[in-house]
Chains A and B, each alone.
Chain A
Amino acid sequence: MQEKDVIVEVKDLVKTFDGRTVLDGVNLKLRKGETTVIMGGSGCGKSTLLRHIIGSYVPDSGSITIFGKEITSLEESEFDKIRKKFGMVFQNSALFDSMNVEDNLSLALREHTELAEDIIKIMVKMKLELVGLRGFEKLMPSALSGGMRKRVGLARAIAMDPEIIFYDEPTAGLDPIVAGVIDKLILDLGKKLQITSIVVTHDMKSVFSVADRIAMLYEGKVIAEGTMEEIKHSKDPRVQQFITGSPDGPIKFFMDSGGYLEELTK
């Protein structure tokens, strides 16, 4: 198999918050048209990793290249050229509260393109149709349910027809049918339009339906990376534990019971 172009490359990324190292040398490569799923426990730094890639956080050390450009030292206006080529679905949707659904979706189109207003309206309708929310154009974000907000967030991320999409838990909090539709949408965008994407998710069903490659983040590092088959048959007990969701294994949720007792009675 011939190597596809690397679109995004993260090298030795380190980030420390108030003395707590969250990312401790992350390495990751995304190739054109591939969907990479990032798995990992809650609070292990998945959202933080995405925030570095979209340039909201500056890393302590390490480098991130997108389309061959090193972004950590890029000027804001140059970075904005790259930003126009990607979309981000935020974990908490991050819809603009002061605008209705339609304006949320059309903002970037209005600002970055010369399209006529009626064409923008049609494009907005098409994107809303994709997430099953056609007819909700005039609602304000505060009038939407959590799952609906998430879907509007997704529609907003794909409004500009980006080449890369970052999804931060796109199906969390959705019912199984809508989650299935969203998974299929992610799959379609990747396969048919050759969009490169990162999907952060805990949902194993989702992982196995959308992933071309899987990376597992644990204690600030990517501990396993490979195709779906490779990960499924990984010998690493931490990966196996995560896939099966078993409370017993090398990843400890609870501290040792001795320590707990001590702490309670201290």
Chain B
Amino acid sequence: MLSFVSAVGSVVLGTLAHVGGVFKLLVQTLFWLVIGPFKKKPPSRKNIFAQMVFSGVNSLIIVFFVALFTGIVLAMQSAYQLAQLGAVMYVASLVAVSMARELGPVLTALVVAGRVGAAITAELGSMKVTEQVEALQSLALNPVRYLVVPRFLALVIMLPCLTIFSDLMGMLGGYLVGVFNLNINSGMYINITLKFLTLKDIYTGLIKSVFFGMIIALIGCYMGLNTKGGAEGVGRATTVSVVTSFILIILSDCVLTGIFYFSNM
């Protein structure tokens, strides 16, 4: 009994330590991001650019496929329901609003967490276990400024961009089903989409994706920089990083949606 209590206790304490660690990393990252440039220590542009290409541009193809097919599936599933109400043409607004408010940001974040978050943890983790992080430190280069800030900034900028792209591709998927299968007139489909899709739908989705970008970058970097124990440790850290990001993305999605819902946004 006592051992059970102490086991639970140590898990709770361990989790709290991680929460504290991630929070500390966030504070340090914001510090270097905001204060750094005034101390003549801006994050390196070359690194930020490289990270933006890696996390943004190179994710386009997979985001394209995921969003397009989600749009198609969404249109078919909702057409099945709406047909019973004789309101098939509202497939257009349904697809557009659900992509913009929910599926665009969340699916893009999950895809990027799997692709980019995992890569960040694997890269920083192997740097950690081969003493490269220590070497950076010994050259008076702060690892948070040099490694975390460019990745953080790249994700916070690129994830909303990818989300916009994903929203559009989802709507394209819906359009394909609507026009070619449901025989909705093309102009009509676009009209209904524009009529029901408000700016609010889009920017609440983008606000979510900014938070998701922060989560992916922070968890990826934190797990990477705290990797212990050789190649096996890197593998373990990568798995934990992706799983944690997934959970936090879904959790924060729920919280943010709640906030938007109850504040009538």
A76 interfacial by beta-carbon distance below 8 Å: yes
B140 touching A80, Cβ below 8 Å: yes
Determine which of A87, A92, A112, A156 lies in contact with B130 in the assembled complex, contact meaning CB atoms within 8 Å: A92
Closest-CB distance, B29 to chain A (whole angstroms): 14
**Which residue on A lies nearest to B138, using beta carbons?**
A88
Instruction: Tell me whether A88 and B142 are in contact (CB under 8 A).
Output: no
**Any B CB within 8 A of the CB of A90:** yes
- Whether a CB of chain B sits under 8 angstroms from the CB of A96 is yes
Q: Is the CB of B132 within 8 A of A97?
A: yes
The B-contacting residues of A in range 51-96, CB under 8 angstroms, are: 51, 54-56, 76, 80-81, 83-84, 86-88, 90, 92, 94-96
Say yes or no: A76 contacts B142, CB within 8 Å.
yes
Contact A83 B137 (CB under 8 A): yes
Residues of B within 8 A of A96 (CB): 127, 132, 135-136
Name the CB-closest residue of B to A166.
B138
Quick check: is A139 within 8 A (CB to CB) of the other chain?
no
Q: Number of A-B pairs whose CB atoms are under 8 Å?
A: 55
Task: Check if B132 sits within 8 Å of A95, measured CB to CB.
Answer: yes
A136-171 interface bits toward B, Cβ cutoff 8 Å, 1 = contact, 0 = none: 000000000000000000001000100000000000
Q: B136: which A residues are within 8 A, CB to CB? A: 96
| Contact residues in B for A95 (Cβ distance below 8 Å) | 132, 135
| Contact A83:B139 (CB < 8 A) given known A94-B130, A97-B127 | yes
Which of chain B's residues has its CB closest to A80's CB? B140
Taking a contact as CB atoms under 8 Å apart, the answer to whether B137 and A108 are in contact is no
* Contacting pair B140 A108 (CB below 8 A): yes
Closest B residue to A47 by beta carbon equals B131
Asked if B137 and A56 make an inter-chain contact with CB atoms under 8 angstroms apart, the answer reads yes
Count class of interface residues, chain B: 10 to 19
Residue B82 lies at the interface, judged by CB distance under 8 Å to chain A: no
Q: A136–B137 Cα gap in the complex (Å)?
A: 25
Indicate whether A178 reaches chain B with its CB closer than 8 angstroms: no
| Chain B residues closer than 8 Å to A175, beta-carbon distance | none
- Residues of B contacting A94 in the complex (Cβ-Cβ under 8 angstroms): 130-132, 134-135
Please state if A90 and B137 are interface contacts (CB–CB under 8 Å).
no
User: How many angstroms from the CA of A80 to the CA of B132 in the assembled complex?
Assistant: 17
Interface assignment of A231: CB less than 8 Å from any CB of chain B: no
In this assembly, does A133 line the interface, its C-beta being within 8 Å of a C-beta of chain B? no
Report how far A55 CA is from B171 CA in the complex, Å.
54
* A111 CB–B CB distance under 8 Å: yes
In whole Å, how far is A87's beta carbon from the nearest beta carbon of chain B? Answer: 8
Chain B residue at minimal CB-CB distance from A160: B139
Cα–Cα distance between A90 and B132 once the two chains are bound (Å)? 9
CA gap between A92 and B134 in the complex, in Å: 12
Q: Which residue of A lies closest to B144 (CB)?
A: A76
Give A87 to B139 CA distance when docked, in angstroms: 7
Partner of A108 from B127, B131, B141 at Cβ < 8 Å: B141
A217→B137 CA distance, assembly (Å): 26
> 27 A-B Cβ contacts within 8 A?
A51-B134, A54-B138, A55-B137, A56-B134, A83-B138, A83-B139, A84-B140, A87-B138, A88-B135, A90-B131, A92-B130, A94-B130, A94-B131, A95-B132, A96-B127, A96-B136, A97-B126, A97-B127, A97-B130, A97-B132, A98-B123, A107-B141, A108-B140, A108-B141, A111-B146, A156-B139, A160-B139
- Which chain B residues have a beta carbon within 8 Å of chain A's beta carbons? 44, 123, 126-127, 130-132, 134-142, 146
Known contacts A83-B138, A88-B138, A108-B141; 8 additional CB pairs below 8 A are A56-B137, A83-B140, A97-B126, A97-B130, A98-B123, A107-B139, A156-B135, A160-B139
